Amino acid sequence: MKKFFLFVILIIGLNNTTNIHLYAHHKTIKGKVMVTNGGFEPIAGATVRIANTVLRTITNKEGKFTIKNVPDGKFEIIISAVGMKTIKQPIELRHIEGDELELEFQMEESPVQTANIVVTATRSEKIYEDIPIKVSTIDEKTLNITNSNNIKEALYYQPGLRTEINCQNCGFSQVRINGMEGKYSQILIDGKPIFSTLNGVYGLDQIPTAMIDRIEVIRGGGSALYGGNAVAGVINIITKEPCENSYSVEYNNSFTNKKIPEYYVNLNTSIISEKQDVGLSLFGTLNQRNEFDANGDGFSEIGRMNVKTFGGKHFWKLTPKSKIVSEFHTIYHEIRGGNKFDAPPHEADVCETVRNNTILGQTSFEQYIGDNNRLSLYISFQETKRNSYYGANKDLNAYGITDNQTYAAGALYNIIFENILGYHIVSAGYDINYDAINDSAPAYNRSIHQITNTNGIFIQDDWNISSYLNLLWGARSDKHNLIDNLIINPRASLLWKIFEDFSLRATYSTGYRAPQAFDEDLHVTQVGGESLVIKLADGLKPEYSHSFNISTDYSLKLFNIPLALSLEYFNTILEDAFILEDYGNDISGNKILLRKNGDGAKVYGITAEIQSEFKDSFTFRTGVTYQNSLYDSPVEWSTGDTTIGTSSQFSDKIFRTPNLYSYFIASVKVSDYLNLDFSGNFTGRMYVPHYAGYINRDELLHSKSFIEINSKLSYEIHDYPDIILSIGCYNIFNSYQNDFDIGIKRDAGFIYGPARPITVFFSIKII
């Protein structure tokens, strides 16, 4: 099957080399986009597209754009930009003189920093203000302000999201949405579910921001277009598509604790044909980091890492209404933690080391049919080979091998029509996802041979009842090979524009998680010189969820400063919730956590957010979440140790979920050449299990809170090429955990709080 996927991607995606153009060349639209502020300030990076076609481009530094090969006829041109209100304007090309039409647009500023055009909620481009589902966006500006180099760092700066590190040795991380573990979220690349179970273990470090156009986040289930495992939400990583001839080179060097080096090198280039019908973008990234020992015991708290990525994205516009897009990525990721880094893994006292080699590819086809309908097809694959060592006490048998393949394919058809009840966009489709994982680790008696296969059909109606009322409703039916019965998940969202600047959104969704191995099940933590392994209980049942979200958005001006306020309430109820119960030790002395079904659980809370952008000179955004995460009945997380007279311990708290957490970003344009950026996170107190080894008995810690503040100063040299010089500091006040275990008996999973101590950096970017 993999050879078939490669064949289709190479033949269809690269067929442009024949230089055959299947449509005649017609008119050219040129224009300029500026800010409505009494001047002539251009808007760079605005998206300009012609509705119901594949024709689009972006504005350059002068706010200018050109769209070629536009056929005669009536169209609607749509212009959108972050921080601006979207413009829609009808155009008529049939009767213009000559081959060119020149236009000029004035855009009005908006305090809402979500990209005006979003795709994740409906798998089609829509204005955020018209979508019933709450969508948040991490755009290139946010990535620059926060100096984020990979998606793990980028996801710190979203309301309701929290990225955490779960291992001192290998840096295993996960992102929580509304307090729920990573396994409850669906991570997509360009809308395709090829981010597999295995990739979820270390994948947040593996995807560089150099390849990302933006990240769209849906908190909660919301759309019926995505799988039932999107319980907590969806994270859609949208990669860069070539829009103009360009290049960039970036070097970023940082020093953890002001002395341990790490560097990034990012390369990007885009090439567009003169007729704008063929384009190719390429990227490459190199990231190397030395290990960091926080307490001087000879064991790392941050592991040594080496990441190399290369990939590209290619499009071919067959006609103004059809397009093929192909992608191919390779990722090499190596990380090692523990001690004795220059010795082989089995000669170290403690060592966790992993080498991942991953290839990903996908091809999609898009065809607009008539004036309204659209057909989308895609196929994708991912293959990862992993060599690992999770061991202590110089164990020769702690080596492991893992092989993982993921294949996905799907079809989506959109029908647009209008009747007496309103305007409808009906989406119907089918998708299949196949994932096979073979994991062998003899030292801890683990052998996982798991094949999961899901077939899903869905239908959804995006029903615009009136100019102020929109209903998105539908259902998804999944057949999972590990679940006997057919699973039907109804989902519905409502948008009510109460006033022009005040709207209300409400969503109800259901979901499920199959009884299978998840990402953290493929990681082994070293505790007290032994291995802590997660195993699945016999007879594990599926877990089902019911989620409800309600949110409000309000825009206003205060002292002529635009503000956008948002308030959201969320509540998720889990039935037969998966829990981890201490199962004692196996015959080899490994500590076992057994995944089994509990009675249930609930996660609920509120998220508030404030955004503002003032004349491109000041940007501010902050969000705060208060929540509770509880099991319906206490869970036994420790069996105790009878040799020292300790008994079992129970808790109804879901661990590692603070009741209060928040973020902020702020940017000030001091001059045309100088920018000052700030960002930060607050992590409240949470319950963290601390297993015996270095300490005498298992304990449940109620951690302290942390405030992490970052700063960045950038100087831009406007010339050809442009050069951006930056210096800055992560975690200025060194808010970092100070009670790590010491030595070979430590609990490597006893890690919480910020991902790094005070870290200075500098960078140079050439555009």
Q: What is the pLDDT of residue 11?
A: 42
Quick one: which of 762, 673, 766, 677 has its CA closest to 715? 673
User: Who contacts 174 (Cβ-Cβ below 8 Å, separation ≥6)?
Assistant: 163, 164, 166, 181, 182, 183, 200, 204, 519, 520
CA atoms within 13 A on the CB side of 601: 24
CA quadruple 79, 114, 463, 412: dihedral sign: positive
User: In degrees, to the nearest 5, what angle opens at C-alpha 355 toward C-alphas 407 and 404?
Assistant: 20
Q: Does domain 117-766 have CATH number 2.40.170.20?
A: yes
Q: Which helix (H) or strand (E) holds 369?
A: strand 350-369
Q: What is the pLDDT of residue 197?
A: 65
Instruction: Quickly count: other Cβ atoms within 10 Å of residue 680's Cβ.
Output: 23
Q: Are 35 and 110 in contact (CB under 8 A)?
A: no
Longest C-alpha distance within the chain, in Å?
Answer: 93
Q: What is the pLDDT of residue 13?
A: 44
User: What six digits make up the tokens of 736?
Assistant: 């970092």
The C-alpha atoms of residue 91 and residue 96 are separated, in whole angstroms, by 10
User: What six digits make up the tokens of 421?
Assistant: 């009840």
Quick one: which of 294, 373, 173, 133 has its CA closest to 741? 294
Domain range list for the chain: 2-107, 117-766
Structurally, what CATH architecture does the domain formed by 2-107 represent? Sandwich (2.60)
The C-alpha atoms of residue 162 and residue 142 are separated, in whole angstroms, by 16
The C-alpha atoms of residue 47 and residue 57 are separated, in whole angstroms, by 6
Quick one: which of 234, 213, 238 has its CA closest to 121? 234
3 state SS of 559: coil
pTM for the complete prediction? 0.88
Q: What is the pLDDT of residue 733?
A: 96
CA quadruple 173, 179, 183, 184: dihedral sign: negative
Q: What is the pLDDT of residue 16?
A: 41
313: phi then psi, degrees, rounded to nearest 5 = -135, 135
Q: What is the pLDDT of residue 119?
A: 77
The number of helix segments (H) and strand segments (E) in the chain equals: 4, 44
- Per-block average pLDDT, block size 10, for the chain (767 residues)? 45 42 65 78 86 88 89 87 82 77 85 65 77 87 91 89 89 86 83 72 79 87 73 87 89 95 94 92 94 94 94 93 94 94 94 92 92 90 92 88 92 91 91 90 77 93 92 93 92 92 93 84 82 87 93 87 91 92 81 89 95 82 95 90 79 93 95 94 95 92 96 91 95 96 92 95 94
Q: What is the pLDDT of residue 111?
A: 63
Quick one: which of 139, 316, 268, 153 has its CA closest to 215? 139
The DSSP result for 730-766, as a single string, is: ESTT---------STT-BTT---S-SSSSEEEEEEEE
Bridge partners, residue 378, by sequence: 364, 410
Q: What is the pLDDT of residue 115?
A: 54
The amino acid at 599: D
* Strands across the sheet containing 530-536: 525-527, 530-536, 591-597, 578-585
The C-alpha atoms of residue 517 and residue 196 are separated, in whole angstroms, by 11
Q: Which helix (H) or strand (E) holds 596?
A: strand 591-597
The C-alpha atoms of residue 155 and residue 174 are separated, in whole angstroms, by 10
Q: Are 235 and 752 in contact (CB under 8 A)?
A: no
Q: What is the pLDDT of residue 229?
A: 74
